[in-house]
Each structure stands twice: as structure tokens, then as C-alpha cells.
Structure 1
Amino acid sequence: MTDLVYPASTRLVFWLSIGLWLLPTVGSHAQNHAPLDQEVYIIVERPPEFPGGFPAIRDYLIKNEQYPPAARAAKTRGRVLVSFIVNQDGKVSTVTVVDGLGNGCDEEAVRLVSEMPRWIPGSQSGQPLRVKVILPVLFGMDYPPTYPKLSRH
């Protein structure tokens, strides 16, 4: 069996064509993706945690919630779902209402979450990441004493 030997010009054209084919792929990948530290994740190996866990977050919300006068007068009861990002340093940012009640409850829920102490950040492979969290804030209702366990049937 004999080895095929290609002239140098043919080998150069081959490698240049491979390089030109890969170059747009590498360039577009770098331009279309945010740097790793700016990505916002939803599911990670270790999700963000409020210091002290669910009992501590429940206590924080109960202690700091100021039931809005308009909500009290209208006897507004229910839950406001608040979305926010826990950054790599544990600070809360980008607080928005996903599902609100009105009568001042939405603004109060945003205030409560915005003023939270730092969380333990979420991480993947030991690397802290920005993670989106959705938290219910209750008005005129009692929080459960413990975090509900999910059943796996």
C-alpha cells in the first residue's frame, strides 16, 4: 500500500478551507452568548438558599411585612408571586411581580424581597452563578410551619 502525497499547495488550500469554515462558528458563538457571569440560570446543582432556610425566610417575611392599609380595608387576602435574581455575591436584584393582588400588596412584596439580606448564592460545579428565584409572599394568610415536601409517586 502506498501513501498518497499531496502537493503543498493542495494541503494549504485544505487547511485554509477548514479554518475559514470554523472561524464564523467561533466568532458567532462569542458574540451571541453573554459572558458566563451574566447568564441567569433557573436550574442549578445547588439552588440559592436564604440563610437559615425556609423557617428563616418565613420569619423574615412575617416580621417585616407591613400589610397595606388599602389591602386591609378591602380585606385583600392571597399570594403575590415575586421573581428575582440571586447574584453570585448573594445580593437580590431584578425584583418583579409575576402574579399580583393589587391594593398595595404587590409593592409591599417587592419592597420585602428587595430589602432581604444576602442569600447563599446558587452554584454549579462549585462556581457561584446568577439564579432566578420565584417566591410567594402571603397577605392575610398564614405561612406553613415547614416547607412542604414534594411527593414522588
Structure 2
Amino acid sequence: MKRSIPKVLLIWLFLTVAFAADSFGQQADSTIYISVDSCPSFRYKNCRVADDCIKQFISEHLVWPDIESDMYVKVLVQVVVEKDGTLSNIRVVRGVEEWFNRKAVEIVQSMPKWTPGKKGNKIVRTQLTFPVVWQ
């Protein structure tokens, strides 16, 4: 009986190390990049330039408050473009009134998938900041 305990202990130790090594090799890279070789891009309808597509999508989805419409409001929104093109970590980095901040986040949350950024030939999570403008 004394010899079986060390064998069981050795088998347990071997399996623990084997599973740990296996899961270590399969961990996903969760790094968020600010500088990439190929920036994320957004396509919408017939637009060809990402900045124009973003502006067109935002302008088509803007909601005006029940106030004077001859004003200029800009809310800076920061997002992370995930590897699958979805947006996460959406937040206002420079806002104005709460109503505009909330609407800016809602518009960005409703955006379809993006083409993710690349570092080398590897698709990576990328942080971007862009304005949502009422004018």
C-alpha cells in the first residue's frame, strides 16, 4: 500500500502539469493595441473610405433633442474593435450633456461589425477613438 500512494501522487502531478501546459498554449491574446499595421475599418452602404462610412452611419442614426437644431455638439467615443469585428468597451472620453453622451454610445453600440485591425499578419484587438457629431 505504501508504494501505491507515491504512484497516485506521481500520476496526479503528471496530469496537472500536462493540463496546465495544454491550456497555457491555447490562451487567447487579450492585448488591446493602439498602434497597428492595418487599422480597423468600417464599411457602410456604398462608402469606400472608413471615415466617410462612420460619418454616414452616424448621421443616418442621429436623434435630435427637442431643442434648437442650429447647434454643434461633439462627443468623443472610445471603442475596442474585437478580433471578430464587434465593438466592446464603448465609453465616452469627452462628452457634453448626459443626453448626448448616452445617445452617442447607443449609436456606436448599434454599428454593424467592423473589419478588425492587424499587427503583422495577426488579427488583434484595437482601440479607437472617434467623434459623434450633431450639427
Q: What TM-score, normalized by structure 2, do the two folds share?
A: 0.70
| Aligned equivalent of 2:102, options 88, 107, 112 | 107
Match of 1:47 in 2: 39
Q: Rg bigger for which structure?
A: 1
User: Could you list the runs of 5+ residues in structure 1 that have no partner in the other structure?
Assistant: 1-34, 142-153
Which amino acid counterpart does residue 82 of structure 1 have in structure 2? V
Deviation sequence 1:65-106 (CA, Å, 0-9, x none) = 11233xx25975321000010000110111000000115100
Deviation sequence 1:16-62 (CA, Å, 0-9, x none) = xxxxxxxxxxxxxxxxxxx6621111000011111141222111011
Aligned residues: 105
Q: Is the 8 A contact 1:122 1:130 kept in 2?
A: yes
Q: Which structure has greater strand proportion? A: 2
Q: 1:73, 1:54 → 2: CA distance?
A: 27
Going from structure 1 to structure 2, the CA distance change for 1:64 and 1:54 (only over 3 Å counts) comes to same
SS in 1 for 2:38: coil
1:37 is aligned to 2:29: yes
Match of 2:79 in 1: 84
Q: 1:97, 1:91 → 2: CA distance?
A: 17
Match of 2:111 in 1: 116
The percent of aligned pairs where both chains have the same amino acid is 28
User: Could you list the runs of 5+ residues in structure 2 that have no partner in the other structure?
Assistant: 1-26
